[in-house]
Amino acid sequence: MTRGAAATVDDPWGEEAYYAALARRPKHPVRDHLEALATSTRLTRWFRKGREPEVLKVTPDNVIAALNRVGIRPVLLGTYGIGGYRSEARATEDVDVLVGKREVRKAIRVLEEAFPYLEVQDTEVVTRFRNAATQKVALDVMKPSSQAAQAVFRNSISVGKTHRIPTLEMALVSKFMAIISPTRRQAKKLIDMGDFVDVVQHNRAVLNLRKLRRLAETANPGTGAKIIRMVADIDAGRAIQQ
């Protein structure tokens, strides 16, 4: 959809009308995901060309293909995983995948072979692959070590035979968990909040609040009411209370 919405006194650039038209577009999670994935990949490659040429080949398609070769069908998370739920795709710095408990070692091994120039840092919850030149994370292999991660497997959508993505409500809960995390950097939280607001507004007509609350409670008991209040604040145009 191209920008061409009529301007008004209250909306001189036609932005509100444009995003309202996008929100009315019929939702098709797999189609929307694939379109957003292609756009985000192009944007990120363009951004990296002059800044991080060392990691140009660390793309979602290449990561997924490497995992598929050893029989792993990951859940694509992060910006690449939720991009289809946004009003517009955006660039991102890293690829985030979630694999099963029994697949973790095999996944790390095959990705080390596929991207031998990345430095590997293993932790209890995630294995990070960093650009050796900049020390920026290019790839995260998430481990199903939490209730939230385990819930993703039960609330995901198949994208052909290659990978899966979170459902709409699970994608929002994933962003919500990042927003309320006590260890996440404030700058990252603000980006997460922007994603959360955009996804809610773009999908409000099809968002299942009961399911959203239940998934938040599963991921982090006691937070169901909080995520519903955030949606209510967005609906009312109020400042969001975290």
The pLDDT tens digits of the residues spanning 191-222 come to: 999 999 999 999 999 999 999 999 999 999 99
Distance CA 185, CA 84 (A): 25
Query: Are residues 221 and 149 part of one domain?
Result: no
Q: How far is CA 213 from CA 67, 207, 208, 218, 222, in A?
A: 32, 11, 9, 9, 10
What's the confidence (pLDDT) of residue 7? 56
Residue 13 covered by a domain: no
- Has residue 21 been placed in a domain? no
Chain segment 124-141, per-residue pLDDT in tens: 999 999 999 999 999 999
d(CA 238, CA 242): 12
Q: Does 109 lie in the same domain as 190? A: no
In this structure, the answer to whether residues 197 and 208 fall within a common structural domain is yes
Q: What is the pLDDT of residue 43?
A: 94
Which residue has better confidence, 26 or 240?
A: 240
* The pairing of beta strand 163-166 with beta strand 118-122: unpaired
Identify the helix (H) or strand (E) that includes residue 200.
helix 186-203
Range of the domain at 38: 26-166
93: number of Cβ within 10 Å: 16
The answer to the question of residue 11 being in a domain is: no
Pairing of strands 75-77, 156-159: unpaired
Q: Answer yes or no: do 123 and 50 share one domain.
A: yes
- Domain total of the chain: 2
The answer as to whether 7 is a domain residue is no
Query: For residue 137, what is the enclosing H or E element?
Result: strand 137-142
Point out which residues pair with 126 in neighbouring strands.
142
Q: What is the pLDDT of residue 172?
A: 98
Distance CA(140)–CA(158), nearest Å, equals: 20
Contacts of 232 (CB under 8 A, 6+ apart): none
Q: 202 and 146, same structural domain?
A: no
Whether pTM exceeds 0.85: yes
Does residue 139 sit in the same domain as residue 175? no
What is the spatial distance between Cα 14 and Cα 2, in angstroms, rounded to a whole number? 12
Tokens 């949606």 identify what position?
A: 231
Do 83 and 45 share a domain, yes or no? yes
